[in-house]
Amino acid sequence: MRHITVILILLATVLSAPAAPTNYFCIVCGQGPLRQHVWLHPRGPICDDCEKLPDRCSLCGLPVKAGDGHVKTGDGRLICRFDQPNAILTQDQARELFAQVREEVVDLYGPQFRLKYPEVTVTLFDIDYWSEKGQRDGLHAFGFASTRPAGDGSCTHYVVMLSGRTREEMEAVAAHEYTHLWINENRPASHEIEGDTVEAICELTAYKLMEHKHNAGRQKRILENPYTRGRINDLIGVEHDGGTDYVLNWVKSSTATMFDVNSRLAPLGLPAEPSPLRVAPRVLPAGLKFTGTMAFGQAPLAVINGEEFAVGDQKSLKLRDQSVRVRCLEVQAGKVQVEVNGKPLSLLRGEERPLP
């Protein structure tokens, strides 16, 4: 991480006059008033001793020390007491944020931006996962999405986001990853879209959300990020001329691999009467369904009713007529062994087992 630059200020005497007292107190240890070297950080002044501390906040670069209220992520990243209240650190926080963002972007884009299959498994992971996969470039350092087709013609969605980032940063990531899921559902198999253009479409959603939230700083970062290799700038021009509906319809109806910026609003050949969007209603399941495994980190996770389980995990799941306590005993590629309210049960992949 690039540490924030600090400025060394010398509080020196003028000629032979005694040094005037200052009101500088170290924001890390509280020591002060400081009369010699003061290191200025955007959060406040830092004394010489604290500036020499080896440990830094992974978000703002502030030195941290034992007992100062900082927290540590599972992979050892430190988050100072100032950033901690605004950081996404738990699974519940990640799911709540993603649910909020998906509703906001649907409000921005309209009903056609809803998912046909709305269940999304949202998982928070530490940076070790991306290190193992070698996916530390661009937004892949912060999240990714995937969609898996099911045998009945439906699909299941998964989103993974990096822990320990700020809420505003993860709102942009959630908007980006949600757009991937929408593209996965709506892009015909015959429409091959160039990779940087796909990422630019996803970044456009993040950009529009930040615009809606009047977050000019985050908009600027999206435009300056080399992740889409400049495609985001072209796409913002396309969206300005034709609107977000044009972009979404291009995904569903065009045959071009990327947008033609010299003829931005080329006819799409849309059908005169597009078929209505069919959205699957959200209905609680009557039983338990094992939909597959997620091979993140060292051990596989089983996905049961949209919740991920490692071996030993125990969670309460809401069913149509009851709530049950499920404990995972063993995870295999095509089968998972669980206890349901203390009773053993075997679930095969794709099978829904009704419960009494």
Instruction: Please tell me the total count of domains within the chain.
Output: 3
Q: Are residues 218 and 70 in the same domain?
A: no
Q: Are residues 189 and 150 in the same domain?
A: yes
- Among 82, 116, 133, identify where a domain stops: 82
Closest CA to 251 of 217, 299, 202, 310: 202
Helix (H, G, I), strand (E, B) or coil at 38: strand
- Assess whether the previous peptide bond of 33 is cis (omega < 30° from 0): yes
Q: Do 346 and 335 contact (CB within 8 A), yes or no?
A: yes
Q: Is residue 274 part of a domain?
A: no
Closest CA to 297 of 128, 90, 88, 75: 128
Amino acid at 296: F
Q: Are residues 213 and 314 in the same domain?
A: no
Q: Are residues 105 and 235 in the same domain?
A: yes
Q: Are residues 102 and 177 in the same domain?
A: yes
Q: Are residues 319 and 176 in the same domain?
A: no
The predicted-structure confidence for 80-116, as pLDDT tens digits, reads as follows 999 999 999 888 899 999 999 999 999 999 999 999 9
The predicted-structure confidence for 189-214, as pLDDT tens digits, reads as follows 899 998 899 999 999 999 999 999 99
Q: Which residue shows structure tokens 């900082």?
A: 70
The predicted-structure confidence for 212-223, as pLDDT tens digits, reads as follows 999 999 999 988
Give the integer Cα–Cα distance in Å for 105 and 102. Answer: 5
Q: Are residues 105 and 17 in the same domain?
A: no
Closest CA to 36 of 6, 13, 8, 11: 11
Q: Is residue 278 part of a domain?
A: no
pLDDT at 1 over 60: no
Angle between helices 231-253 and 195-212 (to 10 degrees): 100
The CA distances from residue 308 to 134, 205, 304, in Å, are 23, 27, 6
Q: What does the pLDDT average to over 114-130? A: 80
pLDDT at 325 over 50: yes
Q: Are residues 180 and 116 in the same domain?
A: yes
Q: Which run of H or of E encompasses 122? A: strand 120-125
- Among 28, 50, 82, identify where a domain stops: 82
Containing domain of residue 1, as a range? 1-82
Q: Where are the alpha helices (DSSP H) in 73-186?
A: 91-109, 127-133, 167-186
Q: Is residue 218 part of a domain?
A: yes
pLDDT given at position 177: 95
Q: Are residues 141 and 29 in the same domain?
A: no
Phi, psi (degrees; rounded to nearest 5) at 257 = -85, -20
Mean pLDDT (the chain) is 80
Give the integer Cα–Cα distance in Å for 181 and 169. Answer: 19
Q: Is residue 61 part of a domain?
A: yes
Q: Do 18 and 35 contact (CB within 8 A), yes or no?
A: no
Q: Is residue 277 part of a domain?
A: no
pTM of the predicted model over 0.75: no
